[in-house]
Amino acid sequence: MLNRKMEQAINDQINAELYSAYLYLAMEAHFAAEGLPGFAAWMRVQTQEELFHAMKMYDFVHGRGGRVALGAIPKPPGKWKSPLDVFENVLAHEQKVTGLINVLVDLALAEKDHASHVFLQWFVTEQVEEEASAGEVLQKLRLIGKDANGLFVLDRELGLRTFTPPAQA
């Protein structure tokens, strides 16, 4: 059985994951409007990943006898200065989410909730991947600088990304 403190914390994280999906959807819309379909496709995959994360937590709460309580999702920004600006925001956001996951892990340990602790380890590993993925694109954007040709090559590369739900789900 999931205790109240852990239930509330995971519900808060579900909301944070849904905000992440909403943020990346706004970034997708921004890139589509800017004529960068590969960047938009990358963000669509990111949106799908965040929705997957939220639903994984949603199912966990229900599976442990808890109750999911959804909250309001704040409006995300809708415009950015450049692709570099977007990915600086993506990395900063993923680092923030990593901090939120770490707080959940700390709470699971403090509450001696071993099932939640084990469950959350998947998210700890996932956040390492999320930060690395955003950081890789950011590094490429920094190397490209103002080179339009480089931007279009990267756009094509990012458009190849696809969403594949993890096998452990």
The CATH number of 4-71+79-158 is: 1.20.1260.10
Give dist(CA 64, CA 13) in Å, integer: 16
pLDDT one-digit tens code per residue, 124-167: 999 999 999 999 999 999 999 999 999 999 999 999 999 988 87
Please report, for the chain, the start and end positions of each structural domain, with discontinuous segments joined by +.
4-71+79-158
- Tell if the pTM clears 0.85, that is, is over it: yes
CA dist 30 → 20, 33, 44, 89, 122 (Å)? 15, 5, 11, 13, 30
